[in-house]
Amino acid sequence: MDYGVKVAPEILNLLVRVRIPVVLPVKFKMIPLEYLTDGYRHLICLPYSRHNLERMARNLGLGKHWFHKDHYDIPVRRKAEIEAKCRMVSTRDIIKIIKGSELSGARARLESDEIR
């Protein structure tokens, strides 16, 4: 089971052997990703975040060089393979998801500034 936390196997084995309970924070719980593409080689995932985009790329075997600002491009040679794992949406939907994420991030920053 992958929780997104990298722990050296030797350390994890030692903790288990000496019976130290290993509790992972809730924020590292694996959330299933849904892959979305528009048929023009643009690829994102839901829930949308930079961390989840990186997880998606690892799951699909995409290198970091396919990342472009806020989405991944699908390599031409793997287009059919990767699109088979995605839900097809419009380019407009992809833009709405990306822009909605940026706006909610800006709102969260403003609200945290107001709290201070």
Is pLDDT above 70 for 99? yes
Binning pLDDT at 50, 70 and 90, where does residue 112 land?
Answer: very low
CA distance 45 to 94: 9
Q: What's the CA angle centered on 17, arms 11 and 22, to 5 degrees? A: 60
Is pLDDT above 60 for 62? yes
pLDDT digits (tens, 9 = 90+) for 26-52: 555 678 899 999 999 999 999 999 999
